[in-house]
């Protein structure tokens, strides 16, 4: 009801406005503490889904010998989630933390016939680190390999992607760098971080930063021996902020050190945004305490000028929260799935009208 859709006028935008306007999900976002976005954030980070889904892990080897992990959601009781439905690639935040909210979205998608799979970066979420290299904030190389594999494994199924929080930096970089060759039919970013350098430099609420910092250090400490040849492990594990840790991992390396500014020239999420060629929904709360104030953290001109980017902005929703009353209820998840449904509906209508695939 209080949401705003900011986008460039187009037939696709009109269709999306009608679809979301008819949907009940945007009219039921109620929360007992609407003015406490940090409480929403903490609840989203710490509360596991009910029931917790079972997953089947698959390891993919990258060209340099590194490994990433794909976790296929198979339901809370091990039921098979395969079939002819769309494949939904779920991308966790940049710390690799698979939150209860992300798993809950996967379960909702599974119930609706999607085939959800979680992308885990090198060394994250129990994925073995076989090379002394992790994935920089906006380097989509490993994601590109995973998408290519999913396209080969499910050649007839539409491929969709949704990212959470700082993980959106990876998805946005991939969409821009890949352009019309992304193999994705549509994508969505929940509470995305658009400007990586500004975000790290501004600092984050300690309720968000410290749990993720400890989560990262705990995972990296397992690989201290192999990382020692590439970085200063003592300085890495002594980092007091996410920025310090990012610099220790990717700027103060032993073989190819780089300045902070040079690192972000290569890793800003929106560096190639003009090349993106698939519809992207960005769901943002104006009160997001992690992203920062909308005036400085939202690239409003991008949504006004690009026919592919859509900003769904709500006054309240916190960071990846968007809660409503009831157990496991997040209206943001429903909005994302409604967006994917609307995109598929628009695609079918365009194919019938023109006989050409979208975009044409």
The residues assigned a catalytic role are 288, 319
Q: What torsion, rounded to 10 degrees, do the Cα atoms 35, 214, 105, 88 define?
A: 140
Compute CA 211 distance to the chain's CA centroid, rounded to the nearest angstrom: 19
CA distances from 306 to 6, 8, 91, 311 (A): 11, 6, 23, 11
Element (H, E) at 160: strand 159-164
> What is the bridge-based pairing of β-strands 115-120 and 87-91?
parallel
Instruction: Please provide residue 23's backbone torsions phi and psi, each rounded to the nearest 5 degrees.
Output: -75, 140
Element (H, E) at 116: strand 115-120
Place of tokens 């929360």: 31
Helical H runs in 99-228?
Answer: 100-111, 141-153, 168-178, 196-202, 206-221, 224-227
171-206: b (≥16 Cβ within 10 Å) or e: bbbbbbbbeeebbbbbbbbbbbbbbbbebbeeebee
CA-to-CA distance for 96 and 92, rounded, in angstroms? 6
Under DSSP, is residue 52 helix (H, G, I), strand (E, B) or coil? coil
Candidates 200, 146, 143; CA nearest to 176 is 143
CA-to-CA distance for 231 and 250, rounded, in angstroms? 8
101-128: b (≥16 Cβ within 10 Å) or e: bbbbbbbbbbeeebbbbbbbbbbbbebe
Under DSSP, is residue 276 helix (H, G, I), strand (E, B) or coil? coil
CA-to-CA distance for 308 and 186, rounded, in angstroms? 9
């Amino acid at each position: 009801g209080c949401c705003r859709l900011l986008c460039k006028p187009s037939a696709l935008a009109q269709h999306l406005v009608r679809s979301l306007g008819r949907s009940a999900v945007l009219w039921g976002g109620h929360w007992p503490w609407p003015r406490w976005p940090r409480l929403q954030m903490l609840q989203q980070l710490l509360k596991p889904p009910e029931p917790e889904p079972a997953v089947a892990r698959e390891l993919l080897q990258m060209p340099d010998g590194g490994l990433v992990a794909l976790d296929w959601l198979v339901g809370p009781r091990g039921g098979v989630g395969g079939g002819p439905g769309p494949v939904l690639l779920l991308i966790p935040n940049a710390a690799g933390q698979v939150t209860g909210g992300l798993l809950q979205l996967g379960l909702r998608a599974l119930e609706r016939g999607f085939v959800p799979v979680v992308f885990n970066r090198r060394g994250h979420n129990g994925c073995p680190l076989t090379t002394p290299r992790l994935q920089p904030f906006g380097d989509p190389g490993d994601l590109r390999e995973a998408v290519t594999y999913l396209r080969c494994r499910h050649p007839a199924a539409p491929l969709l992607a949704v990212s959470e929080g700082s993980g959106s930096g990876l998805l946005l970089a991939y969409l821009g760098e890949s352009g019309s060759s992304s193999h994705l039919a549509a994508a969505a970013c929940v509470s995305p971080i658009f400007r990586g350098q500004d975000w790290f430099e501004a600092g984050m609420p300690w309720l968000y930063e410290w749990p993720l910092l400890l989560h990262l250090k705990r995972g990296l400490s397992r690989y201290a021996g192999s990382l020692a040849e590439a970085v200063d492990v003592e300085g890495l594990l002594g980092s007091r902020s996410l920025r310090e840790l990012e610099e220790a991992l990717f700027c103060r390396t032993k073989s190819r050190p780089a300045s902070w500014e040079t690192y972000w020239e290569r890793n800003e999420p929106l560096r190639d945004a003009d090349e993106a060629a698939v519809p992207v929904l960005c769901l943002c709360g104006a009160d997001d305490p992690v992203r920062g104030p909308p005036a400085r953290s939202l690239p409003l001109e991008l949504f006004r000028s690009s026919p592919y980017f859509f900003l769904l902005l709500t006054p309240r929703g916190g960071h990846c929260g968007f809660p409503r009353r009831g157990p496991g209820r997040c209206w943001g998840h429903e909005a994302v799935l409604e967006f994917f449904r609307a995109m598929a509906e628009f695609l079918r209508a365009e194919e019938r009208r023109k006989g050409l695939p979208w975009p044409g």
